[in-house]
Every structure is written in C-alpha cells, then in structure tokens.
C-alpha cells in the first residue's frame, strides 16, 4: 500500500478465504469526497453473494473451526490483526482518508483505534465469561457457558469505516462468532483491506468474510438480516435504517445490536471553565465534520455565560483549518458526499426558516475546495426544542445553541428528544455534575470532557439511539448465547417412580 493518496484499484469480495467477483460480475466506483476523483472499483454484491458468505461462515461455525481454537491461539491471531494494522498504518491512513475524506491525522487515529480494539479483545478472548452456581444442593453443580451465538452479520456506516468494522468484528470473533462484514457503499475499501490481514494471518477459512454492495437499499445488508443462518446482527447507522434492520431480523429472532442516531446535548453551566468547554464543544461538533453519532450537536448555555461562550466559540471556530484531507495540518475535511452536503445545507435553510439565528458559516466552501463537499463550520443561536434543528440528526458541522435559566430547565430540555446516545456537562460543581449525570437520559455522559472513548468503555443508546452495547466486555454479550448446565453427582433418588 502506498503512503500517498491511493490510485484507483480493483477489488473483489472476500468469501470463504478467497477473493472473488460478485456473482453478477457487476461493480461500482467509489470517489474521493475531497476531490470527486475515483479511488476504487468495488464488486456490487447481491443476495447471492451474501448467501455464499453466510454459508462459508456457517460452515466455519458448524465445524467449530474457530470456536474450538484454544484461547491462547485465538489471542495470538487477534493480536496479529492489531499488529498488521499498525504495520500498515500509513497505507491504511491514506485509504481511510481517501474514501471518507478524513484529514490524515484523524484517519491515522481511526487505524490505530481499530488496532487497539483487536488488542483489547485479544485479551478478553481468554476470559469470555460464565459463572458457577455452587449452592443449589450438594449433589448438584451448575455453571453457565458463554457460547458463540453463531454467524455474526456486521453492517457498518461510512463515518469511521475501519474503526467501526474493528469495533464490531473484534468482539464478535472474541465471542467465537464467524463474521460476514458488509461495509457502507461509500467506504468499502478499508473493509476489503482488513480482509487481507485475515488472509495473511491464517485464520480458518470462512471466519471473516467481506461482501460489499450499493443502493438502492442494501441487498446484502437486508439479506444478512433475513438469512436464517445469521444468528446476530450488529448495525451502526441511521435510526430509520436501524428500525428496518430490527424488523427484518424479527422473523428469525436474531440477536440485534443497533447503534443509531443521536442529538446529544452538552450543558455548559454558569461555573464552567469556559476555555475548556469551548474547546470540548468545538471538538464535539466539528470533529469528523460533525459526522459523528456522539456529536455535541446541541449546546445548552447558562444565560449568564452564553454571550461570552459564544463569542469565544465563534472566534475559535472561524480559525479552524478546513482543507484538503491530505494535509497533516487540516482539522476539518469534506462531508462524505454531495447528497450529504445538500442535506446539511437544507438544514441550514430550515434553521433560518424556523427562526434560529445563524451566527457563523452556513454555506459550501468554494475556491480551491469547490470540487469537494466542504461546508463551513456553522452555528445557530437561539434554537429551542420545538425546532427540527434541535430534534433531527443533521450529521454535519452544524451546532444548535440554546440558552437556559436554571438547571431543571436545562435537564428537561436536554432530555426533550427521542434520542439518548450521549450527553454531558461542563461545571466545577460536583453537585451539578452528579445531578446532571443521574438525570440525563443517555448511554454515555461526559463530565468536563467530550468524545473520550476507549475499547473498554461500553457505548450505546437510550431510546431511539439504539439497542444493546458496543465496546467493553458488554460487546461480547451481544454475540454470545448463555448455556446453563446443571450437573448431578451421586445416585439419583427416583422422583417419578
């Protein structure tokens, strides 16, 4: 792999340990969102390809080709993926950057985070859980076995293509489940590159498969949800698609883990360290151009500090380095596609029409960035919860600011969306921090911090933000069955004589 922008390459599907074209022979092209130039030709997978991959994975499961590999060997293999990712960090960084439009510094972070997931779960693979239940009766001994649920269907989005693929694949494999990975059509390249690691490292055939597709809809994703031989589906994406995934999984009673949208509120109280809060809010909404499910897309400011916070925020937002993702200096890259840019700009128009006050940005960046999908960091003030700007996930660099008088009001307004992915507060008061932490409905609460996440910290949402948890040991549970064993010793006293 090159360390500069990759030239357009031809890819194949990875099924049963072999590279192969889509059954139809069809392909599609993926472009670099910063330049509009082609970067790869990808197989257009169909239901047939999904079926072949599921059969390969199901064979691996049936034959216990992966399940029965000793823990120490599983650990070596998973660790090997982490090492492989680090060895190829520069090539993969260039590829993540090219397919997702990410500034290279952050694309590198994605690759290293992906490696860290494999490191973390390579440790947990030797201790996948289960407990003893010792006090039933002297002649009975009970224990639980945590067994792999079966084939895992993994459906990933485009915002952190390699990172989220690793976030789901590593625990699935650690739980003992063979994987069929279906990446987003916008960012299929790094998922296919990840397959090279599995090929080189001698994993048993069929343990890791990648099938790409493109719209309309997702024929491969939909098939993974309906296929009777898939036991668990782990999905990250929009809330609407997540609901469809859950519905499609219902007839075959799959385990479903969904990580969906958010409209995460950040409270800045009157006693906050404003410099730190401004920095957290900038990172929270503009990191990855706002295309982050945990983005702090709503900031609620205490009246007494609102003007000072906003003037500091706007001044610093205006100095952020938006530019070509290939530059190490760039902080903010383009949106993923023209369609996404148009969607984001339509929310700018909506915000104005709803009566919110545009105080920064709100337009596409032209000049030498015109051929990409760059939108200026955008801030709306005086947004209230009746507006769609406060309710809908925009998934772009658009911040909705509201102002509050007292903490009860702030908490009520923070909770006034159907989502519950993340939330947070900036304050120097332990009482405020504690109350907000308890009363905000969110799967993740940050206090004087935002977006800090590690493989060991469980992540997932309340309400319409999803079902189940990723990361941490909790992620293993999404891919495990519990088998309770009750074992008798000694002579049985006949009870039914």
What residues are labeled active site?
168, 259, 293, 470
For ligand ADP, give the closer residue by CB, 227 or 302.
Answer: 227
From residue 483, alpha-carbon distances to 147, 149, 166, 427, 486 in Å are 7, 10, 27, 46, 10
From 54-62, 71-79, 241-249, 320-328, give the range in contact with ligand ADP by CB under 6 A.
241-249
For ligand ADP, give the closer residue by CB, 220 or 440.
Answer: 220
From 46-54, 233-241, 439-447, 459-467, give the range in contact with ligand ADP by CB under 6 A.
233-241
Question: ∠ at Cα 297 (292, 299), nearest 5°?
Answer: 145
Distance CA 224, CA 181 (A): 9
DSSP 116-156: HHHHHHHHHTT-----EEEEEETTEEEEEEEEE-SEEEEE-
Cα 336 to its chain centre, rounded Å, is 15
Mask for 193-222, x = binds ligand ADP (CB under 6 A): ------------------------xx--xx
Query: Residue 182 Cβ, how far from ligand ADP at the closest point, in Å?
Result: 6
- Tell me the number of residues near ligand ADP by CB under 6 A: 16
Residue appearing with tokens 């360390």: 3
**Residues 153-192, interacting with ligand ADP (CB under 6 A):** 155-157, 182, 184-185
For ligand ADP, give the closer residue by CB, 238 or 391.
Answer: 238
N-terminal to C-terminal alpha carbon distance within the chain: 73
Query: Residue 184 Cβ, how far from ligand ADP at the closest point, in Å?
Result: 4
Question: ∠ at Cα 460 (300, 380), nearest 5°?
Answer: 25
Query: Residue 92 Cβ, how far from ligand ADP at the closest point, in Å?
Result: 19
Residue pair 355/391 in contact by the 8 Å Cβ criterion: no
Query: Residue 470 Cβ, how far from ligand ADP at the closest point, in Å?
Result: 15
Residue pair 376/341 in contact by the 8 Å Cβ criterion: no
> Which of 40, 176, 237, 443 is in the footprint of ligand ADP by CB under 6 A?
237
Distance CA 347, CA 349 (A): 5
The verdict on 355 binding ligand ADP (CB under 6 A) reads no
For ligand ADP, give the closer residue by CB, 27 or 76.
Answer: 27
Distance CA 418, CA 263 (A): 9
For ligand ADP, give the closer residue by CB, 255 or 413.
Answer: 255
**Residues 363-402, interacting with ligand ADP (CB under 6 A):** none
From residue 238, alpha-carbon distances to 263, 324, 424, 445 in Å are 12, 27, 22, 21
Q: What are phi and psi of 176, to 5 degrees?
A: 100, 15
From 144-152, 238-246, 448-456, 479-487, give the range in contact with ligand ADP by CB under 6 A.
238-246
For ligand ADP, give the closer residue by CB, 29 or 275.
Answer: 29
Residue appearing with tokens 């999908």: 373
For ligand ADP, give the closer residue by CB, 67 or 239.
Answer: 239
Query: Residue 242 Cβ, how far from ligand ADP at the closest point, in Å?
Result: 7
From residue 2, alpha-carbon distances to 42, 91, 92, 106, 382 in Å are 19, 5, 9, 18, 47
Distance CA 19, CA 258 (A): 29
Query: Residue 273 Cβ, how far from ligand ADP at the closest point, in Å?
Result: 34
DSSP state at residue 494: P
For ligand ADP, give the closer residue by CB, 85 or 155.
Answer: 155
CA atoms within 13 A on the CB side of 233: 33
Largest Cα separation within the chain, whole Å, is 90
> Which of 225, 295, 332, 383 is in the footprint of ligand ADP by CB under 6 A?
225
Query: Residue 100 Cβ, how far from ligand ADP at the closest point, in Å?
Result: 12
Query: Residue 163 Cβ, how far from ligand ADP at the closest point, in Å?
Result: 14
Q: What are phi and psi of 121, to 5 degrees?
A: -75, -20
**Residues 242-271, interacting with ligand ADP (CB under 6 A):** 244-245
Where does this chain bind ligand ADP (CB under 6 A)? Answer: 155-157, 182, 184-185, 217-218, 221-222, 225, 237-238, 241, 244-245
């Amino acid at each position: 792999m090159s360390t500069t922008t990759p030239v357009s390459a031809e890819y194949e599907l990875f099924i049963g340990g072999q590279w192969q074209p889509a059954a139809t022979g069809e392909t599609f092209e993926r472009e670099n969102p910063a330049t509009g130039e082609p970067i790869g030709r990808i197989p257009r997978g169909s239901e047939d390809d999904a079926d072949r991959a599921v059969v390969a994975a199901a064979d691996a499961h049936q034959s216990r080709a992966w399940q029965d590999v000793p823990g120490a060997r599983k650990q070596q293999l998973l660790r090997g993926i982490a090492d492989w990712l680090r060895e190829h960090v520069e090539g993969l960084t260039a590829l993540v950057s090219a397919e997702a439009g990410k500034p290279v510094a952050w694309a590198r972070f994605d690759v290293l985070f992906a490696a860290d997931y494999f490191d973390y779960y390579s440790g947990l693979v030797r201790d996948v859980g289960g407990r003893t239940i010792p006090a039933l009766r002297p002649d009975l001994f009970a224990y639980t076995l945590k067994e792999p649920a079966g084939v895992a269907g993994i459906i990933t989005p485009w915002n952190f293509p390699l990172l989220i693929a690793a976030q789901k694949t590593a625990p699935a494999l650690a739980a003992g489940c063979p994987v069929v990975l279906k990446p987003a059509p916008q960012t299929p390249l790094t998922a296919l590159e990840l397959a090279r690691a599995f090929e080189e490292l001698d994993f048993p055939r069929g343990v890791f498969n990648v099938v790409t597709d493109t719209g309309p809809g997702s024929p491969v994703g939909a098939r993974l949800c309906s296929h009777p031989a898939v036991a668990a589906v782990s999905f990250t994406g929009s809330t609407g698609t997540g609901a469809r995934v859950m519905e499609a999984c219902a007839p075959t009673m799959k385990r479903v883990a969904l990580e969906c949208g958010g409209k995460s509120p950040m409270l800045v109280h009157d006693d906050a360290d404003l410099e730190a809060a401004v920095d957290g809010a900038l990172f929270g909404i503009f990191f990855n151009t706002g295309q982050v499910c945990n983005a702090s897309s709503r900031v609620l400011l205490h009246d007494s500090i609102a003007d000072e916070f906003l003037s500091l925020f706007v001044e610093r937002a205006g100095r952020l380095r938006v530019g070509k993702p290939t530059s190490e200096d760039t902080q903010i890259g383009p949106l993923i596609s023209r369609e996404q840019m148009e969607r984001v700009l339509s929310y700018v128009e909506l915000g104005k029409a709803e009566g919110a006050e545009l105080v920064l940005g709100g337009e596409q960046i032209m000049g030498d960035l015109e051929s990409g999908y760059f939108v200026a960091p955008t801030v709306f003030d005086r947004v209230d919860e009746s507006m769609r700007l406060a309710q809908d996930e925009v998934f772009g660099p658009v911040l909705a600011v509201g102002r509050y008088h007292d903490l009860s009001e702030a908490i009520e307004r923070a909770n006034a969306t159907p989502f519950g992915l993340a939330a947070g507060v900036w304050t120097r008061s332990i009482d405020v921090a504690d109350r907000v932490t308890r009363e905000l409905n969110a799967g993740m609460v940050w206090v004087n911090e935002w977006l800090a996440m590690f493989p060991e910290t469980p992540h997932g949402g309340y309400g319409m933000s999803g079902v189940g948890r990723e990361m941490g040991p909790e992620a293993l549970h999404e891919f495990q069955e519990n088998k309770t064993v009750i074992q008798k010793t000694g002579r049985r006293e006949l009870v039914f004589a």
